[in-house]
Amino acid sequence: MLCWGSTVEGQLGIGGAREPVCEPRSCQAFNGCGLKEVACGGRHSLFLLRDGRVYTCGSNRCGQLGHDKPGDSPELVVALDTQKIGVVSCGQAHSMALNEQGQVFAWGAGGGGQLGLGTAEETVPIPSLTANARLMLDGQLFTWGQNSSGQLGLGKGEPSTLSPQPLKSLSGIPLAQITAGGDHSFALSLSGAVFGWGKNSAGQLGLNDKQDRSVPCHIKFLRSQKVVYISCGDEHTAALTKDGGLFTFGDGSRGQLGHDSTNNEPLPRQVQELMGSEVSQIACGRHHTLAFVPSSGLVYAFGCNTNGQLGTGTRGDIKSPLPVKSNWMTHDTRTNPKVPGIDLNSVRLLFETLSKPPFARLLEQATKSFESLLIPQLPCSPPDVEAMRIYLILSECPALHDSKNYITLTIPLAMAILRLDANPSKVLDNWWCLVDGGVFSRLVDMYKSIVVFLLTGGKALLVPVFLENYTSATLKLLEKLHKVNLKAGHVEYNRFYIPDITTLVDIQEDYLKWFLSKAEISSVTLCAYPFILNAQAKTTMLQTDAELQMQMAVSGANMHNVFMLLTLEPLLARNPFLVLHVRRDHLVSDALRELTIYSDVDLKKPLKVIFDGEEAVDAGGVTKEFFLLLLKELMDPVYGMFTQFTQSNLLWFSDKCFVEHNWFNLIGIICGLAIYNSTVVDLHFPLVLYKKLLGVAPTLEDLKELSPTEGRSLQQLLDHEEDDVEETFCLNFITREYYGLTEVKELIPGGDRITVDKNNREEFVEAYLKYMFRDSVSELYQAFSSGFLKVCGGKILSLFQPSELMAMVVGNNNYNWEEMEKNAVYKGEYSASHPTVRMFWEVFHEFPLEKKKRFLLFLTGSDRIPIHGMESLRIAIQSTSAEEHYLPVAHTCYNLLDMPRYQTKETLHRRLTQAVEQYEGFSLV
């Protein structure tokens, strides 16, 4: 799925971007999910999957999303979860869905009656059945909503209507299509007759006048054109004919008619520039039009382009058809090393046809030939690039996805792929980069299933040497796919995770084998393929690594007797914890003193904190309090250790700070200790910090995350198409503000004398990124990283992705609020069935997402959850004798909420909201 245009409300479903997207961008949200249909409203979008589920994103000001989650990315409309939806549609700010039983659901803006619910509620946030719960199945057309210009077609003087009314004037005419514009409507009959009605101020009905029509009128001009499809914009209309001609009429003020003018057209007029090209598909936005020409693989666009909605890579209205920037389409269907030249959808359709009873025997014979003749004879160096297409074709064969054929077909194909010489192997990688996300997802899932198959039943089916070889081949094939995905971005990295891997394999033993691989233990280890390991598995590896290093340090063990060590009685009984003694009023100096006396190995032990003069036993709460208080002190803006970027709310090292470098070393150690002690710390560092720790080079995307304005400015510099770069951007060195003083820093020697132009702008951007993320903060980052690596360094670190490492420190946002309620514990008079507790959960679940996150911050000290998910976050709610006018109190270190016994839901809602909104938090941001 590709998208472009305005994303100010998140309507493109690509996350938090707010700048217009001016050329097609891949939206990964539904890769491999079977997307069936997309509908776009004024500022929101609906997505229908083949299984009948509906997702929405974008503006929710009128409840048009059908859920209360943020609109930045598509979210499931849970209220429709029990329905099998077959069709979806959008208005300006309302949404509609039709289920398989013919029932119509509507939600969103309803003030004009457009929801057909029989009421005129301004907003309806939950999908509801229209007043005529099931519209008749005899081809009858119903209309409802506003009728200010006769757009309902019910006749002159008829008022607007709140519930569906039959359009009797078209009764008996078999209709092929209906469509609605801003205030006008069209219907197309099966025989090709076109009817229009409603507003006609710009000639959008194609009747050669500007008079509104309150009943359907036959558009005689189009009768001879054999129209097969109609699309309506706000005040213009487009009609597609059987032979691929495109006619447009109505408002042309933004160039949306494609006639190289801004004149209105009261009669349908063929778009001259597309004559000779056979158009197969059209779509109208409010003030723009798209047309697809399959023979060239091009989408043409024209009209309003204020928000980049034409996808041409530029802004500004376009009056004639221009191709959408289409490097995502291939115009050359001939096979070459870059392009496979094969339609995999057709391949899949062929296999589906062969799977049907009449052809079952044929498919069975083909499958046997694949097994006995084709796959065993696949060469290392195919004679021609066209012969390489067999690898894509076979992957679509259903037989390879059947577990009974894994050993005879699917694994042998993986082995054949791995045998390929370097050049043909690279060709296949290139082709995999180009395939549809769904094709790639199925390939990944197939080989993941084989790993599970071999781990669960392999020992019973295969002798050890075959099991080893088959497992190795499958993992290496997944590794090859993973490398392709790093380049192509088909799926999220966690798509490669094998669920429940920790129940299939002894991760501790696997890690030891991997650790000892240098000692020539040659068996297959999953740790050599870390991309399949989830957070739970990687946490187990961290703990194993810590144990291993501690055992080796204590015993002086060498590489070969580690297995023996782990079976012996632990030698750590003498001092199994890292114990820190600190004073509350000297927290930083005491932490520095205590942590410097311990060895790297000691820092991996479970942490216990003792506050001077206090008897509290550290069962986790004291440690958490230590982290919170220490970070609060370290993050105090008075020390200037970090710069806070207002737009992103993220922190980066300040090259003008007032503390010793060992403070940065301490923060690094704290991040490492947080990982080893499974504690989430509220540190708002960008992803680039964790990329640097893993040796991954920063990119412009990292700057866009940290400082969106700077990032966008550099992107504009790179995208600028004219030759006037020097005059437009006036760059040759950088300036930065420091407490009112401007200081100039050269990016390269003599940089103040070198002007940035079209030829060297990429070097400038690279130099800027190098300065921002490396040179300007090198000493401070070095101090931080040496502290972090002191705890978390070594071979183990190479197993993590940057985002995984980040989640280990600061948690993630995979919220499951029902899980949190299920795991909650109660103290004092409270229990799960206590009226106040039941009221609390009712109020909490009614909170919007942002307020739920604020509550999490209030109660736990962070608005993110541990990497293991909600099941590892246990909150406690305790009754108190305080009166109702008191607010709930959070004991952040213990995730404990003291809550008075409120008598009404309204009081509880008010007091809880006050408490949550007054909470300041510990950290700088």
State the DSSP string of 783-804: HHHHHHHHHH-SGGGGG--HHH
Confidence label for 400 from pLDDT (cuts 50, 70 and 90): very high
The whole-number pLDDT of residue 733 equals 60
Question: Residue 384: what pLDDT?
Answer: 77
Instruction: Give me the DSSP letters along 351-396.
Output: HHHHTSGGGHHHHHHHHHHIIIIIGGG--SS-SSGGGGHHHHHHHT
Tell me the mean pLDDT in the region 504-519. 79
pLDDT bracket for residue 114 (50, 70, 90): very high
Are 148 and 160 contacting, i.e. CB atoms less than 8 angstroms apart? Answer: yes
* Active site members: 893
Please write down the HEC assignment for all residues of 712-781: HHHHHHHHCCCCCHHHHHCCCCEEEEECCEEEEECCCCCHHHCCCCCCCHHHHHHHHHHHHHCHHHHHHH
Task: Give CATH 3.30.2410.10 domain extents, the chain.
Answer: 812-918
Q: How far is CA 789 from CA 554, 668, 680, 692, in A?
A: 20, 8, 18, 12
Nearest to 601 by CA among 547, 544, 664, 670: 547
Average model confidence (pLDDT) across the chain: 87
Question: Is the domain defined by 812-918 classed in CATH 2.30.250.10?
Answer: no
Residue 921 has pLDDT above 50, yes or no: no
Looking only at the bridges linking them, the beta strands covering 161-166 and 142-145 are antiparallel
Confidence of residue 308 (pLDDT cuts 50, 70, 90): very high
> What 3 state SS string does 335-355 have?
CCCCCCCCCHHHHHHHHHHHC
Quote the CA–CA distance of 90 and 46 in Å, as a whole number: 7
Among 104-108, 743-747, 771-775, whose mean pLDDT is lowest?
A: 743-747
21 sits in which H/E element: strand 21-26
d(CA 311, CA 553): 61
Q: How far apart are CA 882 and CA 909, in angstroms?
A: 17
Please tell me the predicted confidence (pLDDT) of residue 632: 81
Confidence of residue 524 (pLDDT cuts 50, 70, 90): confident
Domain 1-135, CATH class in plain words? mainly beta
Residues 6+ apart with CB under 8 A from 669: 595, 603, 787, 788, 790, 791
DSSP H or E stretch at residue 284: strand 281-284
Percentage of the chain modeled with pLDDT above 70:
92
Alpha-carbon gap, residue 240 to 229, rounded angstroms: 5
Q: Where are the alpha helices (DSSP H) in 388-436?
A: 389-395, 411-419, 422-434
Task: Domain 700-809: give its CATH code.
Answer: 3.30.2160.10
Residue ranges, comma separated, of all CATH 3.30.2160.10 domains in the chain are: 700-809
Rounded to whole angstroms, how far apart are CA atoms 25 and 16?
14
Kindly state the greatest CA–CA separation across the chain. 96
Strand duo 642-645 + 607-611: pairing: unpaired
pLDDT score for 196: 97
- What would the two tokens of residue 811 be? 């948690």
Question: Band of the pLDDT at 31, cuts 50, 70, 90?
Answer: confident
- Rounded Cα distance between 73 and 55, Å, is 9
Span 146-152, average pLDDT: 95
**How far lies 924's CA from each of 206, 650, 688, 704, 782, in Å?**
62, 10, 19, 21, 22
What dihedral angle (degrees, nearest 10) is formed by the CA atoms of 98, 103, 108, 109? Answer: 110
Q: Is the pLDDT of residue 741 over 70?
A: no
Q: Is 73 exposed, middle or buried (0-12, 13-18, 19+ CB in 10 A)?
A: middle
When pLDDT is cut at 50, 70 and 90, the band that residue 837 belongs to is very high
pLDDT in tens, 698-711: 999 999 999 999 99
- pLDDT 10s digits, 437-463: 889 999 999 999 999 999 998 888 888
Residue 353 tokens read as: 């046809």
**Residue 554: what pLDDT?**
57
| pLDDT recorded at residue 403 | 92
Nearest to 761 by CA among 798, 797, 731: 731
Residues 6+ apart with CB under 8 A from 129: 103, 104, 105, 117
**Residue 619 is encoded by which pair of tokens?**
């069962």
Cα separation, 58 vs 375, whole angstroms:
48
Rounded Cα gap, residues 132 and 117, in angstroms: 8
The pLDDT assigned to 244 comes to 92
Please say whether the dihedral angle defined by the alpha carbons of residues 631, 637, 643 and 648, taken in this order, is positive or negative: positive
Mean pLDDT for the stretch of residues 612-632: 75
What average pLDDT does the segment 355-371 reach?
A: 89
Q: Is the model's pLDDT at 85 over the cut of 90?
A: yes
Beta strands 85-90; 75-76: pairing state: unpaired
Question: What SS3 class is residue 924?
Answer: coil
pLDDT at 512: 84
Q: Is the dihedral of CA 480, 482, 486, 488 positive or negative?
A: positive
Say if CB 318 and CB 310 are below 8 A apart.
Answer: yes
Q: Taking residues 678-688, what's their average pLDDT?
A: 84
Burial letters for 148-187: b for 16+ Cβ neighbours within 10 Å, e otherwise? Answer: ebbbbbbeeeeebbbbbbebebbeeeebeebbbbbbbbbb
The mean per-residue pLDDT over the stretch 887-913 comes to 91
Q: Which CATH architecture has domain 159-329?
A: 7 Propeller (2.130)
pLDDT score of 614 more than 80: no
558, pLDDT greater than 50: no
Is pLDDT above 70 for 615? no
Q: Is the pLDDT of residue 746 over 80?
A: no
**What gap in Å lies between CA 214 and CA 578, rounded to an integer?**
82
Whether domain 577-678 has CATH 3.90.1750.10: the reply is yes
* The predicted structure's pLDDT at residue 266: 96
Q: Tell me the torsion sign for CA atoms 632, 636, 641, 643.
A: positive
Identify the band that residue 560 occupies on the pLDDT scale cut at 50, 70 and 90. Answer: very low
Q: 41 and 109 in contact (C-beta within 8 Å)?
A: no
User: Residue 327: is its pLDDT beyond 60?
Assistant: no
The count of other CB atoms within 10 Å of the CB of residue 188 is 22
Q: Rounded to whole angstroms, how far apart are CA atoms 909 and 925? A: 26
Task: Name the residue type at position 347.
Answer: V
Note the pLDDT of residue 514: 83
pLDDT band at 857 (very low <50, low <70, confident <90, very high): confident
Whether the pLDDT of residue 105 is over 50: the answer is: yes
Q: Residue 839: its pLDDT value, please?
A: 95
What pLDDT score was predicted for residue 617?
A: 60
Q: Where in the chain is the domain with CATH 3.90.1750.10?
A: 577-678
Task: Specify the DSSP class assigned to residue 683.
Answer: -
The DSSP bridge partners found for residue 54 are 48
For residues 604 and 607, what is the distance between their CA atoms, to the nearest angstrom? 8
Supply the pLDDT for residue 705: 94
Helix (H, G, I), strand (E, B) or coil at 216: strand
Burial letters for 445-462: b for 16+ Cβ neighbours within 10 Å, e otherwise? Answer: ebbbbbbbbbbeebeeeb
Taking phi first (over 0 means left), then psi (-120 to 50 degrees means alpha), and beta for anything else, what does residue 96 get? Answer: beta
Q: Which of 356-360, 395-399, 426-430, 569-573 has the lowest mean pLDDT?
A: 569-573
